[in-house]
Amino acid sequence: MEKILTYCLGNPYLLTAMLVVGLVLLVKGADWLVDGASAVAKRFGISDLVIGLTVVAFGTSMPEFVVNMVSVAEGSTDLAITNILGSNIINTFVILGVTALIWPVTSQKRSRDFDIPLSIIAGVLVFACVSVQSPFGEQSQGITRMGGIILLVMFVYFLFNTFRHAKDHPDEAGDSVCAAKPMGIVMAILLVVAGLAGLVVGGEMIVRSAVQIATNLGVSEAIIGLTIVALGTSLPELATSAMAAFKHNSDIALGNVIGSNIFNVFFILGTSAAIRPLPAYDGINVDAWAAAVGSILVWLFVKTNKERQIKRWGGAILLLVYAGYLTYRLLPYVTN
């Protein structure tokens, strides 16, 4: 396996193919893992609600999680941070922007009052982690282990609140419920094993190819993480949200996107930093604020009209802001 990866890294065409195959393995691996694990959980009598809030929630974030774990293990810490911030930025500006252009995105009361404000706090916390001096003598310019632990504590709070709300308001928990696909226990276990294998191999291929592409192009790992890797891991959510919008069911997009953003920062970024401190890179403050501003705009959009929707004009604004942000981040590399 190591020899094959090394050979592919030396050929630009194989390098590109390696990245694409890695993304496919990552996405399909997550799907197989969710289907298999959900079927196994169902066999043990676990409710659809609990499966939706645990197995499905964790499983759909496995692509970002695996990329981060491989990045941390191989010392590509810039990629670990930008994979999360880039995914959150694309989730908010691109996925919600495209979805709202197709069909206005309706919000639920919980999203307006809890999830969206918490996603704003997530972005602000990342900024605070890289800007405030650590009292424990760790590197101040970056997300330290203490910062990672704080993020994980926030994740526990989010998870506890989500379970409590779902239990108290079962009528609002429909989007979190997962109807496990019926299958035999052997097939379910095989899917879990295949899913884990796809995630591990795909994650390794993505990190190796992304670092090499950055080297070949003369750009930072951060830029590759913010663009190619983040977009690749977000494509399934984009396709799902767009299809839902075409069917006029775009209301599920907002909850999925905001929930994913919270999960990414508090759990995945928190775990990554707790394992290995993540030093800051050039532009991290801009990226952290972009993630927070996206959530602020979404909150303003759903709070300032009686339908509590992101209108088509709001979707257009999100896409225009993302275009401006991306131009600002890429301009130094284009002009040099």
Domain count, the chain: 1
Q: Which range in 11-20, 60-69, 99-108, 253-262 is most confidently predicted, on average pLDDT?
A: 99-108
**265 has pLDDT over 90:** yes
Contact by Cβ (8 Å): 336, 219:
no
- Domain of 218, in residue numbers: 2-335
What is the maximum alpha-carbon separation in the chain?
Answer: 60
**179 has pLDDT over 80:** no
Q: Using 50, 70 and 90 to split pLDDT, how confident is the model at 8? A: low
Residues contacting 85, CB < 8 A, separation 6+ = 126, 226, 230, 284, 287, 288, 290, 291
Output the DSSP codes for 176-206: G---PPP--HHHHHHHHHHHHHHHHHHHHHH
User: What is the structure's pLDDT at 118?
Assistant: 92
**93 has pLDDT over 80:** yes
Q: Does the CA dihedral 103-108-109-113 come out positive or negative? A: negative
Report CA-CA distances (Å) from 139 to 132, 133, 151, 272, 280: 10, 8, 17, 15, 9
Contact by Cβ (8 Å): 163, 15:
no
User: Can you give the CATH number for the domain in which 220 is found?
Assistant: 1.20.1420.30
Q: Does the CA dihedral 235-237-238-240 come out positive or negative? A: positive
Q: How far is CA 245 from the centre of its chain?
A: 20
Using the 8-state DSSP alphabet, how is residue 310 labeled? E
| Kind plus residue range of the DSSP H or E element containing 48 | helix 48-51
Report which residue type is found at 221.
E
Q: What is the pLDDT of residues 102-159, one digit of tens each?
A: 999 888 888 888 889 999 999 888 888 877 654 444 445 678 888 999 999 999 999 8
N- to C-terminal Cα separation, the chain: 37
Q: How far is CA 222 from the centre of its chain?
A: 15
For 243, other C-beta atoms within 10 Å of its C-beta total 13
Q: What is the length of the chain?
A: 336
